Structure 1
Amino acid sequence: MSVLDKVADYFTGEASRNRNTSIIAGLLFFAGWWVLIDAMSIDLKHQITTGHVFIGIFGTISFCMVNAVKGEHISEENSSESGARIAKIWLLVGFLMGFASIIAAIWVMIDDFINNEKKEGWFGVALLMQNVFILFASLIYKFGRNEEEWNE
């Protein structure tokens, strides 16, 4: 078996769905932060402030909150009614934080960067791209994996 066949088998095997989903989500999460770090590295006028970075941190916290809840925690088969309710509220707050970070990034992009002629608009786009990548990574990691393989 050649190396190319082993690589193809690695990505198409039985348990490859969780692995591939995790790789894609990790790359999207990395790309999101990479875009903002790259924008900050070429920002000589310090147009991106700490407040702008906190929007991405907010999205990262959302990523952790959403993916901390297993599917069995929110299912109807959960024996603890209050535990299922708390897990659903936790998941809702996590999704709200993720979408709020997108809304905040759009707001900052339009208000601070596009409507301000003294600042370059690309930095606002970088901030928005960061948060979109983080939210997509969160959604892919949450809904792309198969949790049944872990319950065996």
Structure 2
Amino acid sequence: MDFAEMWVIFGPAVAGVVFGAGWWFWVDAVVCSSVTISFVHYLPGIFASLAALMFNCVRKEDIDYSPYEEGEWRLKLWLFLAYVIAFVSLAASVGLLIQDALEKSGPSAWTGTAGVLQCVFVLISGLVYWTSHSD
């Protein structure tokens, strides 16, 4: 077996482990927090998971990379929106990290750090699954 065959077999499992690790960071931060975490802090992880789901709704084989034909512009638009949601969720988690680090009465800096790690791991898992999945 070469690497490509092994990646098709084990890639989805790696993606699941990375996804679970990302959510584990967040659950750990919420459980260990001494203050109540507002719902706004949950949104970047939820939207990152939505973006990962959006990545995986598109098969690689369906995308036409030809610059001269229209191809499937709907798929390209869908992937573009998934990337926008992914990067906005990552930016929001970084913003919440900065806010948590500056406020003394709010959640700890670990909560913000866990939110950033959650978004990064969830988005990596979506891309890992997308690259390893083939129909």
- Superposed CA offset, 1:29-70 (max 9, x none): 001111111111112311x21111111110011001011111
Give 1:49's match in structure 2, choosing from 32, 38, 44.
38
**Which structure has the bigger radius of gyration?**
1
Partner AA of 2:62 in structure 1: H
Segments of 5+ residues of structure 1 without an aligned counterpart are: 1-8
Find the counterpart in structure 1 of residue 55 from structure 2.
66
What number of residue pairs does the alignment pair up?
A: 132
Matched, 1:16 2:12: no
Larger CA deviation: 59-68 vs 134-143: 134-143
Q: Secondary structure at the match of 2:103?
A: coil
Q: Secondary structure at the match of 2:42?
A: helix
Matched, 1:114 2:93: no
Find the counterpart in structure 1 of residue 127 from structure 2.
139
Maintained 8 Å contact 1:99/1:135: no
| TM-score, normalised by the number of residues in structure 1 | 0.78
CA distance in 2, matches of 1:99, 1:14: 28
Partner AA of 2:92 in structure 1: A
| TM-score, normalised by the number of residues in structure 2 | 0.87
CA RMSD of aligned residues (A): 2.2
Find the counterpart in structure 2 of residue 94 from structure 1.
82
Tell which has more relative contact order, 1 or 2 (C-alpha 8 A, sep 6+). Answer: 2
CA distance in 2, matches of 1:63, 1:135: 6
Percent of aligned positions with the same letter in both sequences? 27
Segments of 5+ residues of structure 2 without an aligned counterpart are: none
